[in-house]
Amino acid sequence: MLDWAAYRIALANTLRKVKDISPDILKANKLISEAATSQPPKLDAKTRELISLAVAVTTRCDGCIAFHAEAARKAGATKEEVVEALGVAIALNTGAALVYSARAFDAFEAP
């Protein structure tokens, strides 16, 4: 298991080094992140963080998991809400595997 707090700190330190070399990379990421939230926001912070955490799982991004798990907790998410969001991520991944299994079968049947 990861020490998630230590990982979050180490990742933030590395990203600061990247920012020192190329600040536009992090600036662009921040701009995209901020653009994803309408003004005024239609979703509350907790809901956005639960969605972010589920997406982090589906994209297998440990850094995203580290940051959004902490943000979800700070936004007031409960363990039960996190488990439900993760259940949605699991369901989506199995659905995607099913759809891609059909593609693989089609590829197998192709001459």
pLDDT in tens, 8-17: 999 999 999 9
Give the pair of three-digit tokens for residue 87. 């259940």
The pLDDT assigned to 44 comes to 96
Q: With a cut of 80, say whether residue 1 has pLDDT above it.
A: no
Length of the chain: 111
Q: What is the pLDDT of residues 32-44, one digit of tens each?
A: 988 888 889 999 9
The predicted model scores a pTM of: 0.85
- Domain residue extents for the chain: 1-36, 42-111
The pLDDT assigned to 22 comes to 96
Q: What is the pLDDT of residues 54-102, one digit of tens each?
A: 999 999 999 999 999 999 999 999 999 999 999 999 999 999 999 999 9
CB distance 69 to 53 below 8 Å: yes
For 42-111, the fitting CATH number among 1.10.490.10, 3.55.40.20, 1.10.1200.10, 1.20.1290.10 is 1.20.1290.10
**What is the end-to-end Cα distance of the chain in Å, rounded?**
46
Q: Which amino acid does the sequence have at 3?
A: D
- The whole-angstrom distance between residue 66's C-alpha and the CA centroid of its chain comes to 9
CB neighbourhood size of 18 (10 A): 11
